[in-house]
Structure 1
Amino acid sequence: MGFLQRLSNWFSQGGREENLLQQAVDLAKEKQPAEAIKIYNELLRSQSASSILKARALFNRALAYSSLKDDQRAAADLQTLVSSNDAPENVRSAARTQLVRIRNRA
């Protein structure tokens, strides 16, 4: 996401939440998954976040837990996504794939 897009996102609630999600993803990429998880938790508690954004946050939180070797929490998040009717199919599909990887690792 470019600078101008991030800047314009600050003018809507949904945009601010997109920025937070991107901030968490960036933290996870910078090997700070615990900090990313705090932001994902905030997004998941949000009353205004869309179901799509929450599904993306839940999937990314699962990846962050997995990177911390907390496979139990990662699997729980992924299972929630797999069984969710609100999550987009591409997120559910990615969750199923990641769930298999985690179970094979264990």
Structure 2
Amino acid sequence: MLLILIKMMPLVLMTVVGYLLNRLKIISIDFNRQLSLTLINVFYPCMIINLMVSNFTPRTLLECWSMPAGLIFILCTGWTAGLLTRGLLRKQREETRRCYH
């Protein structure tokens, strides 16, 4: 349990710092929006992939090729589903659309 807490600490710290910067009005809404998009589209998938493959050597990664292939498939499926359903948000109010950027 402690190991999980230690591994999640950077994510928790980033969230707390972002919350405080936003609360103190140090960062603008546009910066916050762009940062959120970058986190969701770039850094979170990289963190997931890094976590999945960090316990593997190149040899074991080739032997267990289905695991990273499945991970990439799931990430691509989620990304595609998001692209296909983003048109549904155009009918929502501006506040709702901003929740999903």
Name the larger-Rg structure. 2
TM-score if structure 1 supplies the norm length?
0.27
TM-score by length of 2: 0.28
